[in-house]
Structure 1
Amino acid sequence: MRIGLLGTGPWAELVHAPVLAEHPGVEFAGVWGRRPEAAEALGGRHGVPGHTDLGRLLSEVDAVTIALPPTVQADLAVRAAEAGCHLLLDKPVAFTVPDARRVVEAAEAHRVASVVFFTLRFGGDQLPWIEEQAAVGGWFTGRSDWFGSVFVPGSTSPYAAAAWRREKGALWDVGPHALSVLLPVIGDATAVTAVAGPLDTVHLVLRHVGGASSTLALSLTAPVAGGGTGMELRGESGTVHLPERGEGPVAAFHRALDALVTAARTGEPHPCSAAFGLRTVEILAAAERSLATGATVEV
């Protein structure tokens, strides 16, 4: 599979490009970015061309990976699907339900595979844990805490410069991660209530099919000493906790590439397809409406 990379920022530079260059199952074919000089520089570091003409790159590859803000991802994903390219997308797929739905419809219409890179869903310890808990069932409630310190004074995070992340906050940045684990284990959400906390912090309460409930606490502005992530499930089998991440996103991205190759070869949709990405966008958009109105929103 020949794959092109769309994007030249930190996520593309630190994760996408090096994995594409070393993954044995794909051929890294080129880079396109909104800044031509950055695309040329990133491609040059990995021995592939930097493209100024997106159409030309799409005509030369079988798939694309996208490492660009959600504000532009949907349009590019639709264009790539129309060119017959399989899609490895970033989360969130988009900031609006109509934009996310356009991606799903384009992928279906042009029969291309899609995978959304929710990092935990491709974690070496997390993936089997998620599958095991989903098989166990009988969960009564879940709790997910995501307290990051991306925007605290003195932060050295390479992702702090992302304008979309600063504008949309933790709800749209780490919220998709939390949902990507909770939904396949506890079940789809039917309603969400959101309450604002300090700075960008937001607390969500979800009602799930079958009667279970869950709570999410999300922040990118937590004090460093109070940061960290965790997930807990309680049910008929007792209490379990999501394994801590022992590896970085590079290993997970290798697995995401394998998932895309498999989905493209077999025609079987991956559990983290664009359709699942759309569902997370629907829930996050409902949470935004709940924040604005103070009411519980059905999803």
Structure 2
Amino acid sequence: MRIGLLGTGFWAQRVHAPALAAHPGVELTGVWGRRPAAAEELAHAHGARAHTSPDELFAACDAVALALPPAVQAPLATRAAEAGCHLLLDKPVALDPDEARVLDEAASRAGVASVVFFTARFGTHEAEWIAGRAEEGGWFTAHADWLGSVFAEGSDGPYAASAWRREKGALWDLGPHVLSVLLPVLGDAVDVAARRGPADTVLLTLRHRGGAASSATLSLTAPAAAAGVAVTLRGAAGVSVLPRRQDGPLPAYHRAVDALLLAARTGRPHPCDLRFGRRVTEILAAAEQALD
């Protein structure tokens, strides 16, 4: 499959471009970015061509991978779908439910496959745990701590300059990860509430369709010593804890590419397709409204 890459930032350089270039089922055909010099440099590093416009890239590809801020991703992904390109998207697919709906409907009309890259859902051990716990069922409650220190005092990580993360905070950056774990196990959220904590910290509570309740603490401003991820389920089977990630994002992204290839070949939607990504955006928008 000929795949083009939209985006040239840290995540595109670290994960998207090297994973696509190394995948045996993919030809990384081109790169487009809002900074032409960065697109030229990234494309050259991986034997691809830098394109001067998104539409030029769409015309040369069977699919596109997006490594862009969500407000930029949604309209460009809609144009890519209308051009007949399969979609490998980042989370969240959009920051506005209407934009997510427009994108989902465009992909459906065009008949293109879509996969949204949630790191935990494509991690080997995490994916096995999620599938196993969903099959067991009988869960009464769950709690997640998803705490980062991106904007903590003294942080100089690669995302410290991320304007959209600074504006939207942990709810929109880390909330998709939490929902990608909880929804497949506990069911869709039918009631959403949220409260503010210190800085960008959000306390999120959900009631799920099957009757279970869950809560999550999300932050990008946690002290470095307090940062980390923990998800605990409690139910008829006892207590179960999400296993810690044992490999980096590259293997997970490789499996996301595998999922897109399979969905495009068979026509069977992947569980992490645009329909799921759209629902995540709707839930996060409801939580944001509760905060306001």
| Distance in 1 (alpha carbons) for counterparts of 2:255 and 2:266 | 16
1:22 maps to 22
2:224 maps to 224
- Deviations 1:192-214, CA, capped at 9 Å, x for gaps: 11010000000011000121100
Deviation of residue 181 (structure 1)? 0.5
- State the one-letter code of the partner of 1:208: H
1:295 maps to none
| Distance in 1 (alpha carbons) for counterparts of 2:54 and 2:88 | 16
Deviation of residue 283 (structure 1)? 0.4
- Deviations 1:210-250, CA, capped at 9 Å, x for gaps: 21100010000001111111000000000000000111111
2:108 maps to 108
Q: Secondary structure at the match of 1:142?
A: strand
1:243 maps to 243
Matches within 5 A, 1:282-293: 282-292=282-292
1:60 maps to 60
Matches within 5 A, 1:184-195: 184-195=184-195
Deviation of residue 153 (structure 1)? 2.3
| Distance in 1 (alpha carbons) for counterparts of 2:107 and 2:28 | 22
| Distance in 2 (alpha carbons) for counterparts of 1:103 and 1:274 | 8
2:75 maps to 75
Q: Name the count of aligned residue pairs.
A: 292
- State the one-letter code of the partner of 2:231: M
Matches within 5 A, 1:85-234: 85-234=85-234
- Deviations 1:245-264, CA, capped at 9 Å, x for gaps: 11111110000000000000
Q: Secondary structure at the match of 2:210?
A: helix
TM-score, length basis structure 1 = 0.97
- State the one-letter code of the partner of 2:116: V
**Unmatched runs of 5 consecutive residues or more in structure 1:** 293-299
- Deviations 1:135-181, CA, capped at 9 Å, x for gaps: 00000001111110001122232111110001000000000000000
| Distance in 2 (alpha carbons) for counterparts of 1:211 and 1:54 | 45
Deviation of residue 56 (structure 1)? 1.6
Runs of 4 or more consecutive aligned structure 1 residues displaced over 2 Å after TM superposition: none
2:273 maps to 273
Q: Secondary structure at the match of 1:268?
A: coil
Greater alpha carbon shift after TM alignment, 17-26 vs 151-160: 151-160
* Percent of paired sites with the same residue: 63
| Distance in 2 (alpha carbons) for counterparts of 1:54 and 1:275 | 24
- Deviations 1:45-96, CA, capped at 9 Å, x for gaps: 1111111122221111100000000111111001000110000000000000
- State the one-letter code of the partner of 2:26: V
Q: Secondary structure at the match of 2:124?
A: coil
| Distance in 1 (alpha carbons) for counterparts of 2:227 and 2:273 | 30
**Unmatched runs of 5 consecutive residues or more in structure 2:** none
